[in-house]
Amino acid sequence: MKRILSLATILLISFAVSFAFGQTDADNFYKSDLVNVEKVFFPNQYKMKVAGNLFLPKDMKKGKKYPAIIVGHPMGAVKEQSANLYAMKMAERGFITLSIDLSFWGGSEGEPRNAVLPEVYAEDFSAAVDFLGTRPFIERNSIGVIGICGSGSFAISAAKIDPRLKAIATISMYNMGTASRNGLKHTLTLEQRKQIIAEAAEQRYVEFLGGETKYASGTVHELTDKSAPIEREFYEFYRTPRGEVTPEGASPLTTTHPTLTSNVKFMNFYPFADIETISPRPMLFITGENAHSREFSEEAYRLAAEPKELYIVSGAGHVDLYDRVSLIPFDKLESFFKEYLKL
């Protein structure tokens, strides 16, 4: 008698095989004996407390000033998802690094939780410069930034009005404005956009009267036979032990789910407008060869002025560059920041 496996069992086996043979290099929770980590808090310009992890190489010399790199997490995530990994790896290479939780997420302040406010997200990067630039062991004229996924667009938004960010690198960048207005590859119609805006506007009445908060779609919590490849890609990071965490004061159930009423603010977000004004500060756009988000890095590269570089990681998808250490080009990041931050 043949045994018929349930869909859930098949999917679980499929994931296990994929992880065992294709993603054994995934190391989101990487630790290093060469680096000390300190939990820090600092205010942004709006007096909201920003939470961060400060990574300090153990071989730091007393009295010496070091270049620093700020690392921002993917949109809807927290610093423990991808940002800490990049911060740890770059600290091993001699930089002082700071991973941060964006306001409204993780350990940072901001109500309601999971709110979208791109201006404040960008401000958090400038506040991180305030913090780092006032540490006695930091060379304040040598501070750079790494923005992962949505944080790539927030870091660019910050850099346009904060010349203290001397070198900007993005990883698997999402332009959260374009993605919200037009969808991937411009698949969202104007009528669909208007419908989303109208739904969010009506929901404001509900919440104003004390009704339940509604959240926007994000990473799915279950896979089905109809799940799209992009849904599966994010699921394998955010909903499995590979990358799942319990954010401070929150639940994994709300990870990657912004509030519906605030998410439409991205439709007024244009981070690539005037991107050329960042020059002559250098920009490095890193994306995967097979990344569904590749279009955003290519557009930013096209619009940016020199010096700029588009770096394509062979064989990599979008989420691969969150945590797959054999694919993430740490050597490229090291050479970029050593050249422009003068390590």
What mean pLDDT do residues 209-213 have? Answer: 97
Residue 249 pLDDT more than 70? no
Encoded amino acid at 155, one letter: A
| Predicted pLDDT at 11 | 39
Ordered structural domains, the chain, with CATH: 19-188+265-341 (3.40.50.1820)
Residue 55 pLDDT more than 60? yes
In whole angstroms, give the CA distance from residue 150 to residue 158. 13
Per residue in 161-190, pLDDT (tens digit) is 999 999 999 999 999 999 999 999 999 999
Q: Which residue has the higher pLDDT, 1 or 162?
A: 162
Task: Read off the tokens for 318.
Answer: 């979008």
CA distances from 205 to 106, 110, 258 (A): 27, 21, 18
In whole angstroms, give the CA distance from residue 59 to residue 55. 12
Per residue in 253-296, pLDDT (tens digit) is 889 999 999 999 999 999 999 999 999 999 999 999 999 999 99
